[in-house]
Amino acid sequence: MAAAKRITLNVNGRPHSITADPDMPLLYALRNSIGLSNPHFGCGLAQCGACTVHVNGKATRSCAFPVGEAQGKKVVTLAGLGTPEKPHPVQKAFVNEQVSQCGYCINGWIMTAAELLAKNPKADDKQIREGLAGLKCRCGTHMAIIRAVKRAAKEMSA
């Protein structure tokens, strides 16, 4: 394990300076050092997606991404994607489609869908399903999630 170092992170457009082992997962810095409630810890193995954030616009599993590698990059969490007054189209669609049941996994779905639609706002069903492959929802809201992403895609490509 490396010695702790001073690391400056740009999270949701604001600088945060922390002291941490550069190999520590970014997830721990976001939750424990900065105090964000999203992303969530799910599996700790980058398999479920609950910890997904954007790093320089790319959906990234923060439980397996070293905090040291985030220095100098833009990190955006669910809280920085949109605001209550002006939600991101994917956030708005998830609310309108009433996707959440327990809500634990929603962070990963929204952050992954936002990256997918930023790259391809006209994504079809197959592309949406492929883009969201690997994410887990134990409540089984997959059909509502697909509806919400299609709704957001329609809004974003209009």
Instruction: Write out the two tokens for 28.
Output: 């721990």
pLDDT surpasses 70 at 31: yes
Cis before residue 39, ω within 30 degrees of 0? yes
Tokens 């999270």, located at residue: 11
Domains recognised in the chain with CATH numbers: 5-80 (3.10.20.30), 82-157 (1.10.150.120)
Please state the separation of Cα 41 from the chain's center in Å: 12
DSSP-derived 3-state class of residue 103: coil
- The residue count of the chain comes to 158
**pTM metric for this prediction:** 0.95
Q: At what angle do helices 142-157 and 106-119 cross, to 10 degrees?
A: 30
Instruction: Write out the two tokens for 123.
Output: 């994504």
Confidence of residue 1 (pLDDT cuts 50, 70, 90): low
Bridge partners for 76 per DSSP: 54
pLDDT value of position 158: 79
Please state the separation of Cα 38 from the chain's center in Å: 8
Confidence of residue 153 (pLDDT cuts 50, 70, 90): very high
